[in-house]
Structure 1
Amino acid sequence: MTSQRRSALTLAGLVGIVLAMVGLVIGSVPLYKAFCQATGIGGPPRQVAADSASATGKMVTVRFDASVAKGLQWRFTPQAREMKVRLGEDSLAVFTATNLSDRPITGNAVYNATPDKIGRYVSKIQCFCFTEQTLEPGQSVDMAVSFVIDPAMAADPLSNEVSTITLSYTFFNAKTAQDERGRS
C-alpha cells in the first residue's frame, strides 16, 4: 500500500470518527431526555392527566424548594415549605413570584424531584413551569402546581422507603436563556 493511499484511508477514518462524535453530541440531549422520561432517573417529573381514583393510604412529605438564577431580579418562594400528600391523590402547591426590577421580565422555571429515583413517580398535571411567565415591574403573582405522587411508588422495593420528596423549582431569565441558545 502506498503512502498516499494510507494517508487517504487515515484521513477518511478520522473524518468518520469526527462525524460520529458530532452525531453523538447532537443526539445526546434528546436521548438523555428520553431516558429520563422513561426511567425517572436524574430527570424532571413527567406530565400526566389527573386521576384520583388510585389514591392509597400511604402518605409522604413533599418539600418545596424555590430559587432564582443569578441576575434574575425576582423573589420566588413557596407559600408552604412542605405538605403531607397521600399517594395517588391530586395535590396543589402555590408559589409567589415578585418582579423586583423596574422593567418587565419573562422567566421560565425548570424543576426536578429528589431523591432522583423518585422522579418517575411524580406526575405534573398543571404547572407554571410548562410556560414562560412575564411579570411587570413590581408585580407579584401566585402560581400553582398540581401534581400526583404515583401509588406505584409504594410497591417499588427501590423507592417504597422514601418518606420525603423535594420538588425544586428554579426560575431563569427567558431572554438570557434564549440568547445563550442562539450563541451555541
Structure 2
Amino acid sequence: MSEMPVRRLVGRLLLLVVAMFGFGFALVPIYDVMCQAFGINGKTAGAYQGVQSEDQQRQVRVQFLATNAAGMSWEFRPRADDLVVHPGASNEMLFVAYNPSDKPMTAQAIPSVAPSKAAAFFHKTECFCFTQQVLQPGERIEMPVRFIVDRDLPADVHHLTLAYTLFDITARKPPVARSGG
C-alpha cells in the first residue's frame, strides 16, 4: 500500500474526530435552541414575572430530580424529593452542589419539566439554571429555585417533575480561582 493514500486516510480520520468533538460541544446550545423553537422536551420558558392568586382548593405534587451529565464530578441533589403545592402560590426548593475535586469548576444546569404538556404552566421566578455556577475545590453551595405552578395547569395534571442535568462547562468557561486572603 502506498504511503500517500495512508496519509490521506489518516488526515480524513483526524478531521472526522475533530468534527465529532466540536459537535459534542455544540450539543447543549443546539438542544436549547431546538427546545425553545419547538417547545419540546418539557423545557421551561425561563423567568416568570406574573402574579396569581393561590388556588387553595387544588394541590399538585412537584417532584425534584438532579442528575450529573457524563464527566461531571460534583455532588448535586435537591434538599427534598418533592413538595405539595397550591397552583398560583410561590414556592421554593433548595438544591445543594458540592465540588469534591481539587480544582475550581464551572457548571450549568439544564432544566426540564414532565409531563411536557405541563411545562408551559411551570414558571421559575428565580433559578440557579439562569446562570453558570463556579465552585472552588471543596466548596458547597445551596442554590434556590423559586417557582409558581400556574392556576391554568390542566385539571388532569396532579404531578409534575422538575429535573435538572448538571453539565461541566469548565473547558468552555474556565473559573478564576479565588485567593485565600
Normalising by the smaller structure, the TM-score range is: 0.7 to 0.9
The alpha-carbon deviation at position 42 of structure 1 amounts to 2.5
The alpha-carbon deviation at position 148 of structure 1 amounts to 0.3
The alpha-carbon deviation at position 33 of structure 1 amounts to 1.3
Structure 2 match to 1:98? 98
The structure number with the bigger radius of gyration is 1
Structure 1 match to 2:162? 167
Query: Structure 1 residues 54, 34: CA separation in 2 closer, same or farther (over 3 Å shift)?
Result: farther
Query: Structure 1 residues 31, 108: CA separation in 2 closer, same or farther (over 3 Å shift)?
Result: closer
Q: Give the one of 27, 32, 36 matched to 1:33.
A: 36
Per the normalisation by structure 1, the TM-score is: 0.71
State, as a whole percentage, how many aligned pairs show the same letter.
Answer: 33
Structure 1 match to 2:44? 45
The alpha-carbon deviation at position 174 of structure 1 amounts to 1.4
The alpha-carbon deviation at position 30 of structure 1 amounts to 4.4
Structure 2 unaligned runs (5+)? 1-29, 174-181
Contact 1:50 1:148 in 2 (8 A): no
CA distance in structure 2 between the aligned counterparts of 1:68 and 1:115, rounded to whole angstroms? 21
Query: Once superposed, which parts of structure 1, at least 4 consecutive aligned residues long, lie more than 4 Å away?
Result: 27-32
Which amino acid in the other structure matches residue 105 of structure 2? I
The alpha-carbon deviation at position 114 of structure 1 amounts to 0.3
Contact 1:50 1:90 in 2 (8 A): no
The alpha-carbon deviation at position 140 of structure 1 amounts to 0.5
Contact 2:42 2:115 in 1 (8 A): no
Query: Structure 1 residues 87, 141: CA separation in 2 closer, same or farther (over 3 Å shift)?
Result: same
Which amino acid in the other structure matches residue 175 of structure 1? T
Instruction: Please identify which structure carries the higher helix content.
Output: 1
CA distance in structure 1 between the aligned counterparts of 2:31 and 2:127, rounded to whole angstroms? 26
Query: Structure 1 residues 28, 116: CA separation in 2 closer, same or farther (over 3 Å shift)?
Result: closer
Please list the CA deviations of residues 6-54 of structure 1 after superposition, one character each: whole Å capped at 9, or x if unmatched.
xxxxxxxxxxxxxxxxxxxxx9974651331xxxx42311221152x42
Per the normalisation by structure 2, the TM-score is: 0.72
Structure 1 unaligned runs (5+)? 1-26, 154-158, 180-184
CA distance in structure 1 between the aligned counterparts of 2:78 and 2:71, rounded to whole angstroms? 20
The two structures, once aligned, show a CA RMSD in angstroms of 2.1
Matched, 1:122 2:122: yes
